[in-house]
Amino acid sequence: MENLFRLDGKVAVVMGGAGGIGEIMAQGLASQGAKVVVASRNMAKLEEVAKKIRTETKSEAIAFQVDITEKQSVVQLVKQVVSKFGTVDILVNSQGANLKRAAVDFPAEDWDLMFDVNVKGTMISCGEFGKVMIEKKRGKVINLSSVRGVRATLWGGNEGYCATKGAVDMITRSLASEWAPYNINVNAIAPSLIYTELAKATLQDPERLQKYLANVPLKRVGQPQDLVGACIFLASAASDFITGQILYLDGGLTAIG
């Protein structure tokens, strides 16, 4: 029982590993013994993240560059990871884009960008890394969703983002069903407002922030580290009988409707 959450010997790939949420989740997985690959387009930042993980956790961590919206780039990443570590046990899709635009004047190119990153990127990553997991008949996939997949905001501008996260929820449930025969668990973490660069517009608007917090029972904004425990849980043996679930890390926001 004492090893229920340990990930010793497991290989974890964190897509979007250069971002605040991706970095903290990669560090959390490494703290439990996983060998971690952080991947995104920003190689300089990735190298910093990998070095920090190695220093602070003593676990192996390596950076690879990838464009999650391009299938061949992800195919190449899979080859690099398997060549380096022999397999993949855990996939975390933490990449994300969030552009606030009024519904009556939503640029098509911004809509496409969000769907490319949030939906297409998740689909491609799951598909390519899923091939490795299907072959070995074992794996854990953790997608990054949001409460905005099921709840609108009290202010405008989130039509595109909400749509992408609803799509991520259904990708998660669909793959959980399709891949259950291969003993692959597919779940999603769905946070509310988290203190990151993406949340600056809300965090710097006192009126909007207070309106938001009025609907959060715990009365605070989430921190990136609030996601770590859930990520470790869904990556570990502790969640072996859980699949197709969206875990809301929201301070109680979705509990009160």
Segments in the chain forming alpha helices (H): 20-31, 43-57, 71-85, 108-114, 121-136, 159-179, 200-203, 206-213, 228-235
Instruction: Return the active site residues.
Output: 161
Of 63, 53, 60, 59, the closest CA to residue 25 belongs to 53
Helix (H, G, I), strand (E, B) or coil at 24: helix
Contact of 37 with 87, CB cutoff 8 Å: no
Average pLDDT over residues 112-133: 97
Contact of 90 with 81, CB cutoff 8 Å: no
pLDDT of the residue at 1: 61
**Spatial distance between the Cα atoms of 142 and 119, rounded to a whole number of angstroms:** 14
**Spatial distance between the Cα atoms of 233 and 219, rounded to a whole number of angstroms:** 25
Helix (H, G, I), strand (E, B) or coil at 93: strand
Among 126-140, 190-204, 209-223, the minimum mean pLDDT is found in 190-204
Q: Please report, for the chain, the start and end positions of each structural domain, with discontinuous segments joined by +.
A: 11-249
What is the CATH number that goes with domain 11-249?
3.40.50.720
| Token pair in block for residue 74 | 């992800």
Q: Is the pLDDT of residue 257 over 70?
A: no
- Reported confidence tier of residue 100, pLDDT bands at 50, 70, 90: confident
**Spatial distance between the Cα atoms of 161 and 165, rounded to a whole number of angstroms:** 6
pLDDT of the residue at 37: 98
Average pLDDT over residues 181-194: 96
pLDDT of the residue at 180: 98
Residue 134 carries which DSSP code? H
Hey, what's the torsion of the CAs at 155, 159, 162, 165, to 10 degrees? -150
pLDDT of the residue at 197: 76
Residues 6+ apart with CB under 8 A from 255: 217
pLDDT of the residue at 90: 99
Average pLDDT of the chain to the nearest whole number: 95
Between 202 and 141, where is the model more confident?
A: 141
